[in-house]
Structure formats: structure tokens, C-alpha cells
Chain A
């Protein structure tokens, strides 16, 4: 692999990193409030007793 290929590869990986990380950052920022205000009962029950039964019982429709 010559130096030109190494530089091209590094630039492509850098672009992937910048775009990908920005997408993650934007998504976390956009969804933070909606995730924070969700009702939490299922998250505070031990899974051995509920196994996410609350989430299963909630109809998505």
C-alpha cells in the first residue's frame, strides 16, 4: 500500500468518524427530552419478576 492509498484511507475513515459521530450526537440531543420523560415503572422493577412484561403488555397500536 503506497502513501497515497494510506492518505485516502485515512481521509475516508476521518469522514466516516466525523459524519457518524455528528449523527449520534444530533440524535442523542434530539431524543434526550423524550426519553427522559417516558414513564419508568418497567425500568425500576427487577427483570426476574417482570421480564419486561410491562413493555410487552403496552400495545403499540
Chain B
């Protein structure tokens, strides 16, 4: 993860600087606002820690050059740049995007460095020795083979409430998100409605068939649920801007995340859900904007 953060962060900042120079815009002041570095870091957090070095490079380049600067730069991008970069990588390089380390069996710093930059592990170890499917991926696969969730919960995939290992990562993202709410960096509407949408639809289906549909807690504390709710969906540029629109925007992301996780072709649906709701944000804003007193209906 550390290498992904470094590579994606540096690539994003360099790409932003080059694009700003080509567009003849102020370089230093724009770079210092941190938006390019943040986009690179958010992308890196979504990537598998053992992905080769060129994965964060391509993702960052797409996020900054295509999804941000070609749309006009900060404030004008209709899609979340980090998620646009992530989805491009997921569709283009599905194999490299599955290199998640097994919980409790992460290779050391030196082995990870070798793997990231050379594509192989030291001492000729096979990749399968240190990687495994994420809990969300494995649960989908096992359910597809006819197994029941009751049996899977006894296995090593599940932790206390969510995916093994992932629940702790999600707890820390939740802690960071709550701190941002307390400091009024973000508003409550999008994260609360997103988590509520995800939990509500998961609860309904879990009550209907607990052997097929995972519990709301599993969905909330697995994958990128908390990262998405507090750090990605709250992007002030690509999200809805009206109070009521934000509630629908977050709720839509939550529901779509569950739908894609459960019935879609990819194990986690946060990135796709965010991009789909980015598409809907202008419409939500249009229909939920505050009316000026005396304004006629459309």
C-alpha cells in the first residue's frame, strides 16, 4: 500500500503540473491545494497493495489527465477522478487488480518491493503463496457454487462482523470520517444516506434469505464501504450540491453498491456506484434546488 501511495501520489502531482503548464495555468498555487495528491492517494487506497508499479501510474494518469484536466480542471470534472481511474484499471487489467494479500500473510516490505517492481517474489515463491481472493470476492464465488452463508461464516473469510481484516480497515476509515464530520470538513447527508441505503437494502434481503444474502454489517464493514461513504462520495465537485439532492445521491450510491456487489460482475461496486450517481447529480440538483420565493413552476 505504501508503494501504491508513493507512486500514485507522485504520478498525480507530476501529471497535474504538466497539464497545468500545457494549459498555461498557475502551477504552484494549484499544486499546493492538494487536490491532485488527494486524487492519487484515494486511487492508491482502492488498489490492491501487491499490484505492479504501472497500475497506479496508469490509473493516476487517467484520473488527472482525462477525468480532471481535460474537463477543465478543479471544479469542472463531472466524475470523481480517482474512481474514474480505478474503474479504467478494473476493466482493463482485471488480473493485476486481484493481487490482494491474504489476511495475516502479507509479504514483508522487501518482498513487496520486489513484487511491485519486478513482478515476481524473491526465492521463486509463487504469487499464490501470498495472495488470495478478498472476502467479498470469495463469498460471491462460493455462493455461486451453491454454498450457504451459514457455512462460509465458519471459515477464515469472515471476521467478527465483516470480511477478515477488512473490518478493521473499515473501522479506521469510519473513525477518520467521523472526525471529518465533527470538524465540519464534510456534511453528514451523503455518508449517512449512503450507509443507510446500503444497510437498508442489505437488511431487507438478509431477512428474506439469510443463507444467500450477507448481513448489513458484512456489507458495511467489507470492501470500500466506509472509504466510499466518507472520502469518495463526499467529493464536493462531482457530488450533488443541494441538501435534498445529497440525500438521494448518497442513498443511490448505497443501493447501487449493494446491487453491484450482489448481482453484478465485480466483487465491490462502490466505484461504479459513485460514477453512476455522478451522472445523476445534475438531474438531482435540477429537481431538488431551492426555489426562490415567487418563482413560477417550470
Contact = CB atoms under 8 A, between A and B. Distances in A.
Contact of B176 (A17, A40, A55): A17
A47 B282 contact: yes
Interface in A1-57: 1, 9, 13-14, 16-18, 20-21, 23-32, 34-35, 38, 40, 42-48, 50, 52, 55-56
Contacts, number: 105
Interface residues of B, number: 46
A27 B38 contact: yes
A50 B286 CA distance: 12
Contacts of B260: none
What is the interface of chain A mostly: helix, strand, loop, or mixed?
helix
B186 interface: yes
Interface stretch (B73-81, B120-128, B131-139, B149-157): B73-81
A20 B41 contact: yes
Contacts of B34: 23, 26-27, 30-31
Contacts of A38: 75-76
B283 interface: yes
B87 interface: no
Nearest to A35: B75
B69 interface: yes
A60 B70 contact: yes
Interface of A: 1, 9, 13-14, 16-18, 20-21, 23-32, 34-35, 38, 40, 42-48, 50, 52, 55-56, 58, 60-61
29 contacts: A13-B169, A13-B172, A14-B172, A17-B175, A17-B176, A20-B231, A21-B179, A23-B34, A23-B41, A25-B183, A27-B35, A27-B37, A30-B35, A31-B34, A31-B35, A31-B236, A34-B74, A35-B237, A42-B78, A43-B281, A44-B285, A46-B286, A47-B279, A55-B71, A55-B78, A60-B23, A60-B70, A60-B72, A60-B73
